Amino acid sequence: MSNIEQLGWNEEFEESLSDDDRRAGSQPARVVSENRRGIVVDDGTHERSVSSQGRWFHGSEDQRPIVGDWVLLSARGDSVVRVLDRKNKLQRISKRSGSPQAIASNIDIMFIVFSCDAAFNESRLERYLALGETSGVGLAIVLTKIDLCSDYARYIERANRVTFGIPIIPVNALERSFLDEIISSFTGALTSIFVGASGVGKSTLINTMVGSQVQDTREVRTRDSKGRHTTTARNLIRLPFGGLAVDVPGTRELQLASRPPHLPQSFPDIEEAIQNCRFASCRHTSEPGCAIQKALETGEFDERRLRNYLSIVG
């Protein structure tokens, strides 16, 4: 595997290059971080900074290079010629601006990280599942801090109730031997992203896998299990065993950038029940023949889960 292929370059991206791109000597590179001055890219041989000049940095949100993107650089390597088409893009609503905010692109698998403590929250987990489903990425749940929890099996049980067969991996993020199942997920040049609230151990996981301190970490408050923002920017990190990982700043609130009409993977129980409603326009409140209300009465799922589903879908 060549140096650039180790970054995720493949035939699909190669075929997207035009004859003009090749004649101009444009160079493909992957965005590994963003900052106020521009982006940092890796061409497989070395990293370089590209300043935020030109239309790619001053156009719409969809046009701006983000972590995970493949870009073509000018022959001199000092400017972005264009952003190659993305396989996918993860985005959410920014709490500060209320507008869509890109998280990362060209992701293969999303590791949703929750800690086995008071911060565990089913509704937030369901929202991350919906983000993964609508973005077309693979999913796995990582439960951290099992070494600090006397009964972590109950957190596995709580996660199982809302994940419907998605892999759940309990770990002590400080011990590499616990991370074998995560590491085995990386085949070829797979690109992963680790998401979750601050303080759940995303950066610790990556540090342990890499075997060095590539990401800063901080303690969480013991009184409420809340963490402070340690990772302040998105970074694409090469892993020593192959593959790449994006570490992103933690977030407690997650709102999808768009409202999907259906979520059959994230809410299969509710989606199946909806098919049995008498009326296609059923609002699932007090309409006659509502299969959702019947399912609530029989305990097939709870009202919290239904409210969360209705808050996500369009």
- Higher-confidence position of 221 and 211: 211
Give yes or no for a contact between 182 and 112, defined as CB atoms under 8 angstroms apart. Answer: no
The CATH classification of domain 90-247, taken from the options 3.40.50.300, 3.30.300.30, 3.40.50.1100, 3.20.20.70: 3.40.50.300
55 pLDDT band, cuts 50/70/90, is: low
Mean pLDDT along residues 155-167: 96
Q: What is the pLDDT of residues 14-28, one digit of tens each?
A: 999 999 999 999 999
Q: What local confidence, expressed as pLDDT, does residue 233 receive?
A: 76
Where in the chain is CATH 2.30.30.140? Answer: 5-86
- The β-bridge relationship of strands 47-51 and 235-238 is unpaired
- Judged against a pLDDT cut of 60, whether residue 232 lies above it is answered with no
- The predicted model gives 143-164 an average pLDDT of 96
pLDDT of amino acid 20: 93
Distance, CA of 60 to chain centre: 22
Averaged pLDDT for residues 203-220: 77
Q: How far apart are CA 2 and CA 114, in angstroms?
A: 35
pLDDT confidence of 173, banded at 50, 70, 90?
A: very high
Angle between helix axes 303-312 and 291-298 (nearest 10 degrees) is: 150
How confident is the model over 136-160, as a mean pLDDT? 97
pTM higher than 0.75: yes
* Secondary structure class of 5 (helix, strand, coil): helix
pLDDT (0 to 100) of residue 229: 44
User: Alpha carbon 308 to chain centroid distance?
Assistant: 19
Q: With a cut of 70, say whether residue 236 has pLDDT above it.
A: yes
- Distance from C-alpha of 104 to C-alpha of 86, rounded to nearest angstrom: 10
pLDDT digits (tens, 9 = 90+) for 26-36: 999 999 998 88
In the prediction, which pLDDT does 224 show?
Answer: 47
pLDDT value of position 221: 44
Sequence ranges of the chain with CATH classification 1.10.40.50: 268-312
Q: Does domain 5-86 have CATH number 2.30.30.140?
A: yes
Confidence (pLDDT) at 63? 73
- What is residue 88's DSSP assignment? -
CATH class, range 268-312: mainly alpha
Cβ(233)–Cβ(203) below 8 Å: no
User: Quick check: 251 pLDDT over 80?
Assistant: no
- pLDDT interval class at 57 (50, 70, 90): low
Statement: residue 184 has pLDDT above 60: yes
Going by pLDDT thresholds of 50, 70 and 90, the confidence category of residue 191 is very high
Cβ contacts of 235 within 8 Å, gap of 6 or more: 32, 33, 67, 215, 246, 247
Q: Across the chain, what does the average pLDDT equal?
A: 89
